[in-house]
């Protein structure tokens, strides 16, 4: 004799995806205005009058990671006084000339910031939080270097976030 089936509760729903939208308007030659209404910036497909598409990608990676690093360091009650992020990308020589290797240098100034905390913030950004970097192909080599208050550290190879299998 079988027992009556117990009612099952519905499975927990997954969070709704975040939808981000933009618009790109051609302005002649290789010039475009890109971004949501009222917040557009110029992108130059020829990289003559404004950053080109790949430079814009590198800017997005640097900005995304920098915001994370500033937030993470700030949680330790130490403030970043100045930051510059330099990014160099090695690309394939033939089309599609996608990025194969990124060298990223964080130049951070701030009293009381400890090197290991800044390095951990950088690592967390690329391996967990930066949505731009995590949208890149997983085979891209990423090397980062921290210069903290004028003292340069060694380059370290990091892994960009990848989904767990």
For residues 27 and 96, membership in a common domain is answered with: no
For residues 32 and 73, membership in a common domain is answered with: no
- Phi, psi dihedrals of residue 116, rounded to the nearest 5°: -65, -30
**Is 27 among the domain residues?**
yes
For residues 31 and 65, membership in a common domain is answered with: no
pLDDT over 80 (residue 6): no
**Is 9 among the domain residues?**
no
For residues 56 and 46, membership in a common domain is answered with: no
**Is 105 among the domain residues?**
yes
Q: Which two tokens stand for residue 92?
A: 């394939």
Kindly list the distances between the CA atom of residue 39 and the CA atoms of 22, 33, 34, 51, 63, in Å, as whole numbers in the listed order: 10, 10, 8, 16, 16
For residues 40 and 59, membership in a common domain is answered with: no
Place of tokens 């003292």: 151
Contacts 24+ apart (CB under 8 A), 96-99: 97/54, 98/137, 99/54, 99/57, 99/136, 99/140
Q: Over the stretch 110-162, which tens digit does the pLDDT of each residue have?
A: 999 999 999 999 999 999 999 999 888 778 888 999 999 999 999 999 877 66
- What is the domain range of residue 47? 21-51
Q: Which two tokens stand for residue 97?
A: 């000339």
For residues 80 and 30, membership in a common domain is answered with: no
For residues 46 and 65, membership in a common domain is answered with: no
For residues 125 and 64, membership in a common domain is answered with: yes
What is the pLDDT, as a whole number, of residue 137? 79
User: What is the pLDDT averaged over residues 14-25?
Assistant: 92
Rounded to an integer, what distance in angstroms lies between the CA atom of residue 56 and that of residue 45? 10
- Other Cβ atoms less than 10 A from the Cβ of 136: the count is 19
Place of tokens 């030659």: 29
Rounded to an integer, what distance in angstroms lies between the CA atom of residue 102 and that of residue 16? 32
- Phi, psi dihedrals of residue 156, rounded to the nearest 5°: -125, 140
Q: Over the stretch 81-104, which tens digit does the pLDDT of each residue have?
A: 999 999 999 999 999 999 999 999
For residues 69 and 118, membership in a common domain is answered with: yes
Rounded to an integer, what distance in angstroms lies between the CA atom of residue 35 and that of residue 76? 33
For residues 39 and 113, membership in a common domain is answered with: no
For residues 104 and 36, membership in a common domain is answered with: no
Query: ω before 74 within 30° of 0 (cis)?
Result: no
**Is 8 among the domain residues?**
no
**Is 2 among the domain residues?**
no
For residues 33 and 75, membership in a common domain is answered with: no
Domain count, the chain: 2
């Amino acid at each position: 004799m079988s027992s009556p089936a117990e009612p099952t509760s519905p499975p927990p729903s997954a969070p709704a995806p975040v939808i981000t939208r933009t618009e790109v308007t051609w302005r002649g030659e290789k010039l475009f205005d890109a971004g949501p209404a009222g917040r557009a910036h110029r992108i130059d497909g020829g990289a003559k009058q404004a950053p080109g598409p790949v430079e814009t990608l590198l800017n997005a990676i640097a900005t995304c990671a920098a915001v994370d690093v500033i937030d993470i360091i700030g949680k330790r009650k130490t403030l970043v006084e100045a930051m510059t992020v330099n990014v160099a990308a090695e690309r394939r020589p033939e089309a599609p000339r996608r990025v194969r290797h990124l060298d990223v240098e964080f130049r951070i100034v701030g009293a009381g910031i400890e090197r290991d905390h800044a390095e951990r913030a950088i690592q967390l950004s690329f391996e967990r939080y930066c949505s731009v970097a995590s949208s890149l192909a997983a085979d891209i080599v990423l090397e980062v270097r921290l210069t903290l208050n004028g003292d340069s550290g060694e380059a370290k190879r990091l892994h960009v976030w990848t989904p767990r299998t």
